[in-house]
A and B are shown apart, each in its own frame.
Chain A
Amino acid sequence: MTPRKRVAIRNQSAEANLFARRTFIAFLGVVVLIIILFSNIYELEINAYDKYQTRSNSNRIKLLPVAPNRGLIYDRNGVLLAENKPVYSIEVIPEQAKNIDDAILKVSELLSISKEKQQKFFRALKSKRRFKPIELKSRLSDQQVALFSVNQHKFPGFFIEARLKRYYPFAELTTHSLGYVARINPKDAIKLEERGNSDNYAATRNMGKLGLEKYYEDILHGTIGHQEVEINTQGRIIRTLDFTPPIPGKDLTLTLDIELQMIAKRALSGKRGAVVAIDPRDGGILAMYSNPSYDGNLFVHGISSKKYKKILNSKDLPLINRAVQGYPPASTIKPLLALTGLEENIITPDTRIMDPGFYQLPGIKTKRRDWKRSGHGWVNLNKSLEQSCNIYYYDLAYKLGITRISRMMEKFGFGDYTGIDIHEESRAIMPSVEWKRARYNQPWYTGETLSIGIGQSFWTVTPLQLGQAISILVNKGQIKIPHFLKTTTELVTKSAGNDHPEETDNIINNKQPEYSKVTQVIYENKPPIILKQNKNWDLVLDALHNTAQKPSATAYTAFRGSRYDVAGKTGSAQTANIKQNEKYDASKTVESKRDNAMFIAFAPYENPEIIVAVAIENVAKGGGGANAGPVARQIMDQYFGKRVVISQDKSKHPHHTNIYGKK
């Protein structure tokens, strides 16, 4: 550290030169480093500008999804069946609240909010950002909303938030057809992802899970909107840059008539069963009710597992839509078998069969009994339907054979989906030789063919299929696919005409004029059933007419005194095997093994407007006519109201006197 004295005489100019050289070299170094800095900045700001510009924007600009309003659902007369109702919750923005602990206590006291809710709030308070709202209580009552609103000025940072929730004002009356929406679960999310729909659902909480809500999910949902906001690094919204409003889902107007639906519910009360009413002119479903039902609103808010278990485990199975579940059709399909017999030239209208009260296959001892122990005597086509004679149809079925029957019945849609616009539909079972081989790996037995003749054995049909088959019958082969949806309505922006281009800007900047555009839904029809002899349609229809009009016939009682001209057929299906020589007595049979009652009817006879199919399970006493008939009657009474629709003179009807001589 102690420097020695200078040892040599300094050469000032040489030192200055050396220093100047070194300084110059250092300066060159400085220039080189500045060039390095500059070229790096040039690279960032000029060459990579686009990349960093994008990243800068994606830093600061967030697209906040805005959920579209779900389309509403109306019945055919414009009655609202599914609406979006505001649900209120109270929320708090912590940084705006003063003395938050105290304020929460006071608000909780005011609105009687439980301790658990408060604790949940304080837990959330710790983990959430101070400028993001935290929910204190959801689903406030109107009274709570009013109470808080009056006192709101005392609680800065507390506010009421309204969200739209699906609401079904008719509750269980419409659940089986409308279905319901519920929270999107991870499974749904995966499905949405697969369909490339995730983005559109970014802000959506609920989606259709059942019925029409599910089937028309895409139409009802609408298109997501976006709020483009500038945010800072904490995610606080600084300002809104742009707003793309969501496009609400389309409103649906159904063919359903809520008043018929109410009647159906009333008529089925205390029974397990279903009613389907179809307009045969277009296939529109006028009513579809399955009893018992349940309230779809429960699922919108997320049903508690206790409540769900109660519904799920109810022995009446309210979750099942019985209108689209299979039942043995029993005698209700006799008219179609008769049509098959006519078409296959097995019978003519005049072919007579002797009914001694039982039927035996050649060489087999087993006797199949008619429902009337003494038998019906000589029976022709008309009488076979009027009296629902089993022996006639055992014989017919035997002569037709299973293959011809199932082939024809498949044409009428049995054993297949009708194509109605809900997903819950069952195909039910139209048995055939092939079906039995595939299902049971067993050959078809002739005895089974006989049972098929009276709509029993393996054969099941849904009330909807039954209604659809009758619709095909009354339309003489024309097939109208049954459906709920009549029209869709959407708000369309009126595009400003070219006449005033200068006004266009104004319109776009301000509010765009909108109008409702109603679109009629057009259903493609299936190819019709063509018979070799067209008059066969009339023969069967006429016999059905008689079945409801002749006082001695099975479907007469149910419609006695109606002011519209009705045709129909009863049916009673055994659900348990009744042994040889054993007599069925409903009162001595356990409830679940009692007969099912079936009924089909249409009116007016001349130009049918409504077809009703009814199925009631395990009736206490009587058959289809006594149990299911009155249900159909009530529906039709409601449908026709005060209208009087009676053919000019029943006795003048061509077949009445000719075929049925012994009037």
Chain B
Amino acid sequence: MRSSGQDQQKIHSIWYRLHIDLPLLAGLLCLMTLGIFVVYSAGGQELNIVIKHTTRAGFALGVMFAIAQIPPLTYRKWAVPLFVIGLLLLISVLLFGHVGKGAKRWLDIGFTNIQPSEIMKLIVPIMIAWYVSEYNLPAKLNTIIVAFILVLIPTLLIAKQPDLGTSLLIASSGIFVIFLAGASWKLIATCTGLASAFVPVLWFFLMKDYQKQRVLTFLNPEQDPLGSGYQIIQSKIAIGSGGLSGKGWLQGTQSQLEFLPERHTDFIFAVFSEEFGLIGVSALLLVYLFIVMRGLWIAVNAQHAFTKLLAGSLTLTFFIYVFVNIGMVSGILPVVGVPLPLVSYGGTSMVTLMAGFGILMAISTHRRFHV
């Protein structure tokens, strides 16, 4: 018993020195492996799509590993410069960015294209966590107000691209920090009220027509079954026809016969549900829940307010990804462009997410730093 415990300690320490959080890695690998199989099925069983996807997954793992080596306090020092650079990039996207799918999201920086909004997914929680942790917790009202403004600037810049999904995720990453920093419930209630009041403003002044259409479609997809409602109807048919145990891998007719649009990207959950059924969905949700639990565990055990807030925010934002994606694909949320984390085909979001997990692992394994 004793010797085996010692061995475990040893193994743990090896991973520890590599700055790898083993349970978290296990959960992530689980999702990524699953993603490869589902992408193969959803992508029309084309091998080069799977190869591309796997390569990106490997690259994302590398990014995670590299970032895990950086002591988390480094971010605290670099929070403000990073945030300023991020905002400048967002502004330049609006000025010089590429147009893709009717939105400006990409910036050409000479050798490659980058998507500044993706980087901001990490920079915003770092910035807000740094700012809030500069003061004693629970955070005071004026701290919170400044934090809100800091969140709002990138959120609006991204919403203007327009990229509703990402701006939503960035806003929530900031708000999670404020929540975890102990914003009073009175304030939370007030903000919720204000946010509800803001909805009409959003609808009439900020949302683009196609975004409004998405919301209308969400409210009643059957109204236009061949037009804007088509995607969500086909998605629900795919999920519903999966039943308890699914039609089997590569056997989903909705996806294999191409009735389902965007099936290997944002709507990959529908393919998964169709082929693996409720049993598969339950397993998938449990894996996500496990990763969230591990992330929160790391947050609670972090040694500094900054790392606690950052870890908590990254974990909860990850969950928001899951919730928004599955919610929209299964028809309880309007369609916003959010992929299913670590499963959907598409490199950018995977790299950002894995970078975020790299930070989490760093927080989990770089314990002895000084305040």
> A37, B326: Cβ atoms under 8 Å?
yes
Contacts of B240 in A (CB 8 A): 44-45, 48-49, 51-53, 55-56
Interface of A is mostly: helix
CA distance A7 to B136 in the complex (A): 8
**Residue among B180, B240, B308 having the largest count of chain A Cβ atoms under 10 Å:** B240
Within the complex, what minimum Cβ distance (angstroms) separates B82 from chain A? 13
Q: Which of B80-108 contact A (CB under 8 A)?
A: 80
B243 located at the interface, meaning its Cβ lies under 8 Å from any Cβ of chain A in the complex? yes
B273 located at the interface, meaning its Cβ lies under 8 Å from any Cβ of chain A in the complex? yes
CA distance A30 to B331 in the complex (A): 19
Per-residue 0/1 for A22-64: is the Cβ within 8 Å of any B Cβ (1 yes, 0 no)?
1100110011011011101110111011011101110110000
B237 located at the interface, meaning its Cβ lies under 8 Å from any Cβ of chain A in the complex? yes
A234 located at the interface, meaning its Cβ lies under 8 Å from any Cβ of chain B in the complex? yes
A233 located at the interface, meaning its Cβ lies under 8 Å from any Cβ of chain B in the complex? yes
B259 located at the interface, meaning its Cβ lies under 8 Å from any Cβ of chain A in the complex? yes
Chain B minimum-CB-distance residue to A14: B137
> B323, A230: Cβ atoms under 8 Å?
no
> A30, B319: Cβ atoms under 8 Å?
yes
Q: Which of B233-250 contact A (CB under 8 A)?
A: 234, 236-244
Within the complex, what minimum Cβ distance (angstroms) separates A16 from chain B? 8
A11 located at the interface, meaning its Cβ lies under 8 Å from any Cβ of chain B in the complex? yes
Given A19-B182, A37-B285, A56-B253, is A49 in contact with B292 using a C-beta cutoff of 8 Å?
Answer: no
A15 located at the interface, meaning its Cβ lies under 8 Å from any Cβ of chain B in the complex? yes
- From B243, B253, B308, give the contact of A45 (CB < 8 A): B243
Q: Which of A230-283 contact B (CB under 8 A)?
A: 230-234, 238
Given A38-B282, A59-B254, A60-B253, is A44 in contact with B180 using a C-beta cutoff of 8 Å?
Answer: no
A153 located at the interface, meaning its Cβ lies under 8 Å from any Cβ of chain B in the complex? no
CA distance A42 to B238 in the complex (A): 13
Per-residue 0/1 for B263-304: is the Cβ within 8 Å of any A Cβ (1 yes, 0 no)?
000000000010001100110010011001100100110000
> A52, B316: Cβ atoms under 8 Å?
no
- From B136, B241, B257, B281, give the contact of A41 (CB < 8 A): B281
> A230, B253: Cβ atoms under 8 Å?
yes
B46 located at the interface, meaning its Cβ lies under 8 Å from any Cβ of chain A in the complex? no
CA distance A8 to B288 in the complex (A): 39
A126 located at the interface, meaning its Cβ lies under 8 Å from any Cβ of chain B in the complex? no
Within the complex, what minimum Cβ distance (angstroms) separates B101 from chain A? 20
- From B258, B273, B282, give the contact of A233 (CB < 8 A): B258
Q: Which of A284-343 contact B (CB under 8 A)?
A: none
Contacts of A10 in B (CB 8 A): 136, 305
Q: By the criterion of a CB under 8 Å from any partner CB, how many residues of chain B are at the interface?
A: 52
Per-residue 0/1 for B2-36: is the Cβ within 8 Å of any A Cβ (1 yes, 0 no)?
00000000000000000000000000000000000
A578 located at the interface, meaning its Cβ lies under 8 Å from any Cβ of chain B in the complex? no
Per-residue 0/1 for B304-334: is the Cβ within 8 Å of any A Cβ (1 yes, 0 no)?
0100110010001001000100110011100
> B236, A52: Cβ atoms under 8 Å?
yes
A3 located at the interface, meaning its Cβ lies under 8 Å from any Cβ of chain B in the complex? yes
> B136, A6: Cβ atoms under 8 Å?
yes
Within the complex, what minimum Cβ distance (angstroms) separates B334 from chain A? 14
B224 located at the interface, meaning its Cβ lies under 8 Å from any Cβ of chain A in the complex? no
> B239, A18: Cβ atoms under 8 Å?
no
> B316, A26: Cβ atoms under 8 Å?
yes
> B137, A46: Cβ atoms under 8 Å?
no
> B180, A26: Cβ atoms under 8 Å?
yes
CA distance A14 to B299 in the complex (A): 15
Contacts of A3 in B (CB 8 A): 131, 134-135
Given A27-B293, A55-B241, A230-B253, is A37 in contact with B323 using a C-beta cutoff of 8 Å?
Answer: yes
Chain A minimum-CB-distance residue to B256: A232
Contacts of B134 in A (CB 8 A): 3-4, 6
Per-residue 0/1 for B328-343: is the Cβ within 8 Å of any A Cβ (1 yes, 0 no)?
0011100000000000
Contacts of A23 in B (CB 8 A): 180, 296, 299-300, 312
Given A15-B305, A19-B308, A238-B257, is A26 in contact with B176 using a C-beta cutoff of 8 Å?
Answer: yes
Contacts of A14 in B (CB 8 A): 137
B347 located at the interface, meaning its Cβ lies under 8 Å from any Cβ of chain A in the complex? no
- From A27, A33, A52, A231, give the contact of B323 (CB < 8 A): A33
> B312, A41: Cβ atoms under 8 Å?
no
B218 located at the interface, meaning its Cβ lies under 8 Å from any Cβ of chain A in the complex? no
Contacts of A42 in B (CB 8 A): 278
**Residue among B131, B237, B258, B312 having the largest count of chain A Cβ atoms under 10 Å:** B237
CA distance A11 to B136 in the complex (A): 8
Given A41-B273, A53-B241, A59-B237, is A232 in contact with B257 using a C-beta cutoff of 8 Å?
Answer: yes
Contacts of A202 in B (CB 8 A): none
Contacts of B71 in A (CB 8 A): none
> A52, B237: Cβ atoms under 8 Å?
yes
- From A53, A57, A60, A238, give the contact of B243 (CB < 8 A): A53
B346 located at the interface, meaning its Cβ lies under 8 Å from any Cβ of chain A in the complex? no
B345 located at the interface, meaning its Cβ lies under 8 Å from any Cβ of chain A in the complex? no
A354 located at the interface, meaning its Cβ lies under 8 Å from any Cβ of chain B in the complex? no
B138 located at the interface, meaning its Cβ lies under 8 Å from any Cβ of chain A in the complex? yes
A1 located at the interface, meaning its Cβ lies under 8 Å from any Cβ of chain B in the complex? yes
B179 located at the interface, meaning its Cβ lies under 8 Å from any Cβ of chain A in the complex? yes
Given A44-B239, A45-B243, A49-B241, is A60 in contact with B257 using a C-beta cutoff of 8 Å?
Answer: yes
Contacts of B243 in A (CB 8 A): 45-46, 49, 53
Contacts of A45 in B (CB 8 A): 239-240, 242-244, 273, 277-278, 281
Contacts of A15 in B (CB 8 A): 136-137, 305
Within the complex, what minimum Cβ distance (angstroms) separates B175 from chain A? 11
Contacts of A37 in B (CB 8 A): 285, 323, 326-327, 330, 332
CA distance A10 to B137 in the complex (A): 8
Contacts of A46 in B (CB 8 A): 243-244, 278
A20 located at the interface, meaning its Cβ lies under 8 Å from any Cβ of chain B in the complex? yes
Contacts of B305 in A (CB 8 A): 10, 15, 19
Chain A minimum-CB-distance residue to B185: A25
Contacts of B308 in A (CB 8 A): 16, 19
> A59, B253: Cβ atoms under 8 Å?
yes
Given A27-B293, A37-B323, A41-B273, is A56 in contact with B237 using a C-beta cutoff of 8 Å?
Answer: yes
CA distance A117 to B94 in the complex (A): 54
- From B80, B258, B273, give the contact of A1 (CB < 8 A): B80
CA distance A456 to B234 in the complex (A): 77
CA distance A22 to B242 in the complex (A): 37
Chain A minimum-CB-distance residue to B332: A40
- Besides the contacts A19-B312, A60-B254, what 13 more A-B pairs have beta carbons closer than 8 Å? A11-B136, A18-B138, A19-B308, A19-B309, A22-B179, A23-B299, A40-B330, A40-B332, A41-B326, A42-B278, A45-B240, A51-B240, A230-B253
Q: Which 3 A-B pairs have the closest CB atoms?
A: A52-B240, A56-B241, A232-B257
Interface pairs (30), CB distance under 8 Å: A3-B131, A6-B134, A6-B135, A10-B136, A14-B137, A16-B300, A18-B138, A18-B182, A19-B180, A19-B300, A23-B296, A26-B176, A26-B179, A26-B296, A26-B312, A30-B289, A30-B292, A33-B319, A38-B285, A40-B327, A41-B281, A44-B239, A45-B239, A45-B273, A45-B278, A45-B281, A49-B240, A49-B244, A56-B240, A231-B257
